[in-house]
């Protein structure tokens, strides 16, 4: 039987609307040392009148419980198995698992009703990332259930949570294989090959969330001189090459990222001298770029605001970066600009880009409003899950 946490009066409303988080302030009291509840434990949540509200993972912090179910049930291995199967059925419906597309996100946390869990698939390898102690403790069960999903042929499961778990929880998670050991680390996205380094790379090794936006960019690449800022593994660069770009320059401050980009270009376009990568700071690079040197610029920086407290600075950062990009693109050029900060809303980002455009004085039109792809779904009860936003701009 799970331990019970009780909500203050009236604090059950958000759970009635299936919002998956219980904030610590909504609880009558946070469990103390005498309560025998540990971080990562499964707890029952009750309304003040004793009505059961469901079960979830307990955690010390402002989000105290991440709900797994709004019914008073046992969280068994089969519970995870069924949630994973539902996630897989949805990806199957999206047509994302094909010989020419082996990289996709299978589980997107709250978006798949599994708060705290991310699973990316690269061929027959699943990379599992826990963002909560509860999911960390469930990792072996989840890994085993992943290998049992019918139609999804997972042979290896790699666990990569050293940097995503709350470090105060002292879980000492180590990255490593939970099941098997992958032979190949090349995945295919829309027919393009990518070396995925889940051992050392950022996140799970690749940013699958830009897949649709890369496809769109490909359509605008023919004959253009392309600048891909914050290139990481060179995703946008590889698509621009296939789209027939006249020239592609990739920039990242990390020399490791530049090497990854060069390797991915070589994997798809060996001996093609249209591409060059530079290990440089993006702002400096743009400062030293002549006006009109590029016809298509991609700005896909890391999250400038990881928390709400950093919001003002982040918005200033977006404005500065976008002003530089819009100022430098050639007449008739296109700018793809993104923010992956969850703390920055779509409206705030648009306002920052608007201010940037106004600062340059150029005529700017919005061609496309961009977002995260369907394998990063937003749980309708949890709008906070919408994080990636972007604009494709036409600059006269």
Binding stretches for ligand SAH (CB under 6 A): 207, 210, 230-233, 235-236, 251-254, 257, 281-282, 300-302
Q: Whose Cβ is closer to ligand SAH: residue 256's or residue 362's? A: 256
Q: How far is the CB of 116 from ligand SAH (least distance, A)?
A: 22
Q: How far, in Å, CA of 28 to CA of 70, rounded? A: 19
Q: How far is the CB of 284 from ligand SAH (least distance, A)?
A: 8
Angstrom CA distances, 206 to 90, 202, 275, stand at: 21, 7, 20
Angstrom CA distances, 350 to 370, 378, 390, stand at: 11, 20, 8
Q: What is the DSSP string of 135-203?
A: HHHTHHHHHHHHHT-TT----EEEE--TTTS-GGG------EEEE---S--EEEETTEEEE--TTTSST
CB 336 within 8 A of CB 213: yes
Q: How far is the CB of 240 from ligand SAH (least distance, A)?
A: 11
Beta-ladder partners of 194:
187
Q: How far is the CB of 223 from ligand SAH (least distance, A)?
A: 22
Q: Whose Cβ is closer to ligand SAH: residue 79's or residue 236's? A: 236
What is the DSSP pairing of strand 364-371 with strand 389-395? antiparallel
Q: How far is the CB of 374 from ligand SAH (least distance, A)?
A: 17
Q: How far, in Å, CA of 240 to CA of 302, rounded? A: 21
Q: Is 69 helix (H, G, I), strand (E, B) or coil?
A: strand
Q: How far is the CB of 313 from ligand SAH (least distance, A)?
A: 14
Q: Whose Cβ is closer to ligand SAH: residue 149's or residue 259's? A: 259
Beta-ladder partners of 108:
118
78: Cβ contacts below 8 Å, ≥ 6 apart: none
Residue with tokens 């590889």: 238
Which residues are catalytic, by number? 340
Phi-psi region of 61 (alpha: psi -120 to 50; beta: other; left: phi over 0): left
Fill in the DSSP letter of residue 26: G
Q: How far is the CB of 232 from ligand SAH (least distance, A)?
A: 4
Phi-psi region of 244 (alpha: psi -120 to 50; beta: other; left: phi over 0): left
Q: How far, in Å, CA of 67 to CA of 50, rounded? A: 17
Q: Whose Cβ is closer to ligand SAH: residue 125's or residue 337's? A: 337
């Amino acid at each position: 039987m799970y331990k019970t946490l009780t909500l203050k009066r009236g604090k059950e409303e958000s759970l009635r609307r299936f919002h998956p988080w219980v904030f610590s302030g909504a609880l009558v009291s946070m469990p103390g040392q005498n309560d025998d509840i540990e971080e990562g434990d499964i707890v029952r949540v009750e309304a003040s009148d004793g009505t059961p509200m469901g079960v979830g993972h307990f955690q010390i912090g402002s989000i105290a419980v991440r709900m797994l179910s709004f019914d008073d049930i046992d969280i068994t291995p089969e519970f995870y198995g069924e949630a994973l199967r539902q996630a897989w059925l949805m990806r199957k419906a999206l047509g994302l698992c094909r010989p020419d597309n082996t990289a996709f996100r299978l589980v997107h946390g709250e978006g798949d009703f599994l708060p705290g869990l991310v699973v990316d698939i690269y061929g027959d390898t699943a990379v599992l990332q826990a963002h909560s102690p509860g999911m960390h403790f469930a990792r072996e069960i989840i890994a085993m259930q992943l290998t049992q999903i019918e139609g999804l042929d997972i042979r290896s499961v790699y666990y990569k949570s050293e940097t995503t778990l709350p470090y105060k929880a002292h879980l000492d998670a180590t990255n490593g294989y939970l099941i098997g050991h992958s032979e190949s680390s090349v995945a295919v996205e829309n027919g393009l090959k990518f070396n995925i380094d889940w051992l050392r790379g950022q996140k799970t090794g690749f940013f699958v969330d830009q897949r649709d936006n890369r496809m769109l960019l490909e359509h605008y690449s023919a004959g253009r001189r392309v600048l891909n800022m914050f290139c990481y593994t060179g995703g946008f660069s590889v698509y621009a090459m296939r789209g027939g770009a006249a020239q592609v320059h990739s920039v990242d401050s990390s020399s490791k990222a530049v090497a990854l980009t060069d390797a991915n270009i070589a994997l798809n376009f060996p001996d093609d001298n249209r591409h060059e990568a530079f290990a440089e700071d993006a702002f400096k690079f743009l400062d030293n770029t002549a006006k009109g040197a590029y016809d298509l610029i991609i700005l896909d920086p890391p999250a400038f605001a990881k928390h709400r407290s950093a919001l003002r600075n982040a918005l200033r950062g977006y404005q500065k970066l976008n002003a530089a990009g819009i100022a430098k693109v050639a007449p008739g050029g296109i700018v793809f600009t993104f923010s992956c900060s969850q703390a920055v809303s779509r409206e705030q980002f648009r306002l920052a880009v608007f201010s940037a455009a106004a600062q340059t004085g150029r005529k700017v039109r919005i061609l496309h409003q961009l977002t995260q792809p369907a394998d990063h779904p937003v749980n309708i009860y949890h709008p906070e899950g919408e994080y990636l936003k972007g604009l494709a701009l036409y600059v006269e």
